[in-house]
Each structure stands twice: as structure tokens, then as C-alpha cells.
């Protein structure tokens, strides 16, 4: 049952991608497959950058952040011509299956590629945003929230020392999962997420209530994709109503995407990488692997992209109650 398969990472990097690559390579070899790593994602498929991988290729990488086979955002793959070049390279190298590790953009490219060429392709959810349907958690999410929480704990120290209000922006392009968990775990007075709207009046009330109770420091966590804008835009709007506001703004940025993956991310990535190989063995195509209720789960790539995974609004209420 020997097959030639490739594994690639695409889009934003996420801690645990290397652990997933390792699992793909070693599971595939265990079952008699030949595995190639594609350098720089879909760009590498277009350029034919396929490198044979063996067990030693993935030694000592489970603890490393980033991705050893590199990643990229490929505009050329968004064109029919680019995807056709990628397909021709796969055929020329006798490749029979693709495992694509990445987020929403990676899945969208994979789904379109399958639609045009019916080429077996499996998605594994590698994104810190945790915004893909069909899996409770994505690879990199746990590490990202722990990285952000560590920074927020440090910000809390200086906020408390100065009795100061801090607005902290965390990643999460169109989703509030990072902001929600980090805000709750960090004891934030308010959390702004893109899934909920018209939050400004509520936030102003929280700030004023805190001052009325002579609360010293206050911490507001803002998801970068919130409809009110990032921290600078949010503060600009609030100052129209509270001119005396003198907060400090912090954008955590890309530190959330780096670092050694947590144990939870390493285990998740290992399970999903192995599951992706097993899906190819079982003849599955055009699907994304995930974990739901601690069990391997499969959904179509279209479902993973188009169906919305809701944030738990109850966590916002809990955060508000616990910050009083």
C-alpha cells in the first residue's frame, strides 16, 4: 500500500506545527509511505520544492516553535494558473496525497484545489486563532494563550503599581477565542471580541464603575479584529466620552505566534498529524481532521471554512462577575 505523500505548512506559523510535521512523517513511514516536505507551503508546490523526509529529518523538533519546512502566503496559488502548476508538479513527482497544515486561508486554498483537480488533500488545523469549525482546539492556540497570559501578568504588576488602566491587544483576526480565554485567566475588567457588537457603552460603564469603587488598576483585553478597532482605535473612541482617561496601550503582536509549544499543543499536534495520515490511508479526501470531545473528528474543508465556531459568551459573563 505504498504511497507518496507531501506535507506542507501554509499561512501564519503556529507553535506545534513541527510536532505535527513529525507525526505526519513518522506515521507515514510506519505505514510504508514515502514522505516529502514542501518548502514554503503552496509556493513550494508551485515551484516543485519537494524534499524527501525520513525519520531523522524530524528528530529533535517536537519542542521547537515555527516550522522547519517554512511557510508563506502565496498569491499565485489564488490563481487557476498557479494551482495548475502545483497539480502538474504533484503528478510529475508521483505524489498521491497532500497534508496541508494551516488555518482558514490554507483550507480555502486546499478546498479550491480539490474542487478543480479532485486531488486527495487533508487539512490539519494549525493556527493560534482557534477559529476553524470541526475541532475544539487548533494547533498553537494553547501556547498562544499562555504566552499572552504571561505578558498580561507582567503588565498587571506595573498597572497595579501605578494604579493605571491598561488596554492590551491580543491576536485573533476575526475571532475572540484568544481574547476570551486570556481575559478571563488574566482577571480582565472587560474583554472586547469581534463576535459581540456595540460594546463601547458597556466598556465605558465598566471603567466608570471601577473608578467609582476606587478601583486602582484596570485591564481591558481587546481582540485585534474587534469591530470597534484595535486598542488605539478603542481608546480614541473612549476618550471622546472620558477625556480624563490616561491609559497605556500594549499590542502583544507576533510574540504570540512563537515559542516552544506547550505539552497540550504537542499532544494535539501529534494526534492530528497521525490522524491526517490515517485519513489518506482510508481513502478520505477533501476533509479536515480535528478533535471534538477528545475524539478524532472529520469535517469537509468547506464546512471547516464556512461554518462558524462560536465563542462561549458565558465566559464573558463569568469574567465580568469575577472582576467586580
Instruction: Give the number of other CB atoms < 10 A from CB of residue 257.
Output: 19
Respond yes or no: is residue 129 known to be catalytic: yes
Q: What are phi and psi of 173, to 5 degrees?
A: -45, -55
Which set of grid coordinates corresponds to residue 259?
515559542
User: Rounded to the nearest 10 degrees, how much is the dihedral formed by the CA atoms of 189, 182, 187, 314?
Assistant: 70
Catalytic residue among 13, 129, 181, 265, which?
A: 129
Beta-carbon contacts of 293 under 8 Å, excluding residues fewer than 6 positions away, are 136
Which set of grid coordinates corresponds to residue 179?
481574547
CA distance 298 to 160: 46
User: Rounded to the nearest 10 degrees, how much is the dihedral formed by the CA atoms of 215, 217, 223, 227?
Assistant: 50
Beta-carbon contacts of 46 under 8 Å, excluding residues fewer than 6 positions away, are 74, 76, 77, 82, 85, 86, 89
Q: Crossing angle of helices 231-241/200-212, nearest 10°?
A: 70
CA distance 178 to 12: 15
Burial of 311 (0-12, 13-18, 19+ CB in 10 A): buried
SS3 56: helix
CA distance 13 to 68: 11
Burial of 237 (0-12, 13-18, 19+ CB in 10 A): middle
First to last CA, the chain: 61
Give the catalytic positions in this structure.
129
Amino acid at each position: 500500500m505504498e504511497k507518496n505523500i507531501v506535507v506542507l505548512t501554509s499561512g501564519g506559523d503556529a507553535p506545534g506545527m513541527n510536532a505535527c510535521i513529525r507525526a505526519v512523517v513518522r506515521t507515514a513511514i510506519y505505514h510504508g509511505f514515502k514522505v516529502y516536505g514542501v518548502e514554503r507551503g503552496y509556493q513550494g508546490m508551485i515551484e516543485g520544492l519537494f524534499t524527501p523526509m525520513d525519520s531523522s529529518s524530524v528528530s529533535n523538533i517536537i519542542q521547537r516553535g515555527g516550522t522547519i519546512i517554512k511557510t508563506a502566503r502565496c498569491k499565485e496559488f489564488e490563481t487557476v494558473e498557479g494551482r495548475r502548476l502545483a497539480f502538474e508538479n504533484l503528478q510529475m513527482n508521483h505524489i498521491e496525497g497532500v497534508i496541508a497544515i494551516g488555518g482558514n486561508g490554507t483550507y480555502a486554498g486546499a478546498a479550491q484545489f480539490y474542487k478543480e483537480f479532485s486531488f486527495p488533500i487533508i487539512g490539519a488545523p494549525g493556527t493560534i486563532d482557534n477559529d476553524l469549525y470541526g475541532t475544539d482546539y487548533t494547533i498553537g492556540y494553547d501556547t498562544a494563550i499562555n504566552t499572552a497570559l504571561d505578558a498580561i501578568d507582567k503588565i498587571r504588576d506595573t498597572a497595579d503599581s501605578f494604579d493605571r488602566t491598561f488596554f492590551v491587544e491580543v491576536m485573533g483576526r476575526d475571532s475572540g477565542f484568544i481574547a476570551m480565554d486570556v481575559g478571563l485567566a488574566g482577571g480582565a475588567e472587560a474583554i472586547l471580541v469581534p463576535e459581540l457588537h456595540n460594546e463601547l457603552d458597556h466598556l465605558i460603564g465598566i471603567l466608570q464603575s471601577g473608578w467609582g469603587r476606587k478601583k486602582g488598576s484596570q485591564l481591558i483585553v481587546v481582540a485585534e479584529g474587534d469591530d470597534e478597532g484595535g486598542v488605539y482605535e478603542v481608546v480614541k473612541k473612549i476618550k471622546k466620552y472620558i477625556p480624563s482617561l490616561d491609559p497605556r496601550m500594549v499590542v502583544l503582536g507576533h510574540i504570540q505566534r512563537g515559542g516552544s509549544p506547550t505539552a497540550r499543543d504537542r499532544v494535539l499536534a501529534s494526534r492530528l498529524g497521525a490522524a491526517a495520515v490515517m485519513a489518506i490511508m482510508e481513502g478520505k479526501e477533501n476533509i479536515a481532521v480535528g478533535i471534538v470531545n477528545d475524539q478524532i473528528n472529520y469535517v469537509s474543508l468547506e464546512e471547516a471554512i464556512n461554518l462558524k465556531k462560536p465563542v462561549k459568551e458565558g465566559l464573558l459573563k463569568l469574567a465580568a462577575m469575577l472582576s467586580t
